[in-house]
Copies of this chain bind each other. A is one copy, B any other.
């Protein structure tokens, strides 16, 4: 297959589709979403067969079992994916909203929310993301080009064929939902340079994937995901709050971006707090990588290397550091944070306020678990990811973050 031909053709199709999608009403988009959800259930057998090919290949290649699990689909899994699509129907359509004002010269200026155009999603071998992303992009009026992890290619081909057909049969333009069917990575590189056809690239996955996209893309990127989240237990902390918060942040779902990776403890309470939390963490099978002071207090802790402070474990491992005071905690967080979610546990008003103000992160918490950083838990509905950058979107991103604005100006012959 000709290198240049392939993706440019997808890009052109997507651009054409985007132009049409921008004028399609919410009711029509919802009808298509409903048909897509239905089609997934109708074609369950086909999806499971394709998925089995992916899974068998992954096992043969020796893929980690946690990754095989994320790749595997079951009849219940397909039902969940279909239901998630139905939930998108209930989300309000952000396009077409806005405000307007009139200038002294009579010009009426209308600021209206419109789709971004063409969204490229680059993600790992998780077939549910394929359908999720397609649904959210369609609802917000965007065409989408999907590039999922190569291990899920057979599943993705079938899923996209099914939902794209259902969408097209229900009035959506051809090219609204497309998949990069070639798994060669050179196509990712090409996609990242297609400024003519792609309005935004959203990478979703681990640090490696995200950095590849950030370093190579000339198309604007919304970074998502990587979370080296911190909890700081202040000298004025209430241990009865601190212990469940640390345990919940670390162990509730260790493989996700809002899970805790580093615990910082004020030196003034380290003697009392560390043995208590150490015992709890051991009960939850959490391995501890500690600073020298932590290792003194907790004989079962391993010494933390410089790298540990900068590592998103996504596993039952926790770095623990003892700090002199709040200032040292803030400096540590400033140095190692990925600006995702950080929490302070304290009963001291001034320290809580300083932490909220000075920590530069999408979500900063007092006396609560970092696991709350989530579109659903914030009350936004489904999310397309959690932005850790500052431009355009920060924190949980919903449908609104898949749109932009445009000014429409109504005149009667005004000139400057």
Contact = CB atoms under 8 A, between A and B. Distances in A.
Most buried by B among A214, A378, A407: A407
A311 interface: no
Given A367-B414, A391-B392, 5 more contacts: A103-B379, A200-B390, A241-B413, A248-B415, A252-B415
A409 B365 contact: yes
A363 interface: yes
A379 B101 contact: yes
A360 interface: yes
A19 B339 CA distance: 14
Given A372-B414, A413-B367, A416-B371, A404 B378 contact: no
Given A199-B390, A372-B416, A366 B220 contact: no
A254 interface: no
A314 to B, nearest CB: 17
Given A109-B378, A221-B220, A377-B103, A364 B409 contact: yes
A103 B415 CA distance: 50
B414 A362 contact: no
Contacts of A404: 390-391, 394
Contact of A367 (B220, B358, B411): B411
Interface string A203-242: 0000000000011001011100000000000000010110
Contact of A22 (B244, B358, B371, B391): B358
Interface in A89-121: 101, 103, 107, 109, 116-117
Contact of A372 (B240, B365, B409): B409
A368 B415 contact: yes
B360 A107 contact: no
B395 A392 contact: no
A117 B361 CA distance: 12
A225 B182 CA distance: 37
Given A408-B364, A411-B367, A391 B220 contact: yes
A367 B415 contact: no
A186 interface: no
Most B CB atoms within 10 A — which of A107, A200, A362, A412?
A107
B357 A413 contact: no
Interface of A: 19, 22-23, 101, 103, 107, 109, 116-117, 195, 199-200, 214-215, 218, 220-222, 238, 240-241, 244-245, 248-249, 252, 334, 356-358, 360-369, 371-373, 377-379, 389-392, 394-395, 404-416
Contacts of A415: 244-245, 248-249, 252, 368-369, 371
B406 A364 contact: yes
Contact of A407 (B240, B378, B411): B378
Contacts of A19: 334, 358, 360
Contacts of A409: 363-366, 368, 372
Contacts of A218: 214-215
Contacts of A372: 107, 409, 414, 416
Contacts of A379: 101, 103, 109
A411 B368 contact: yes
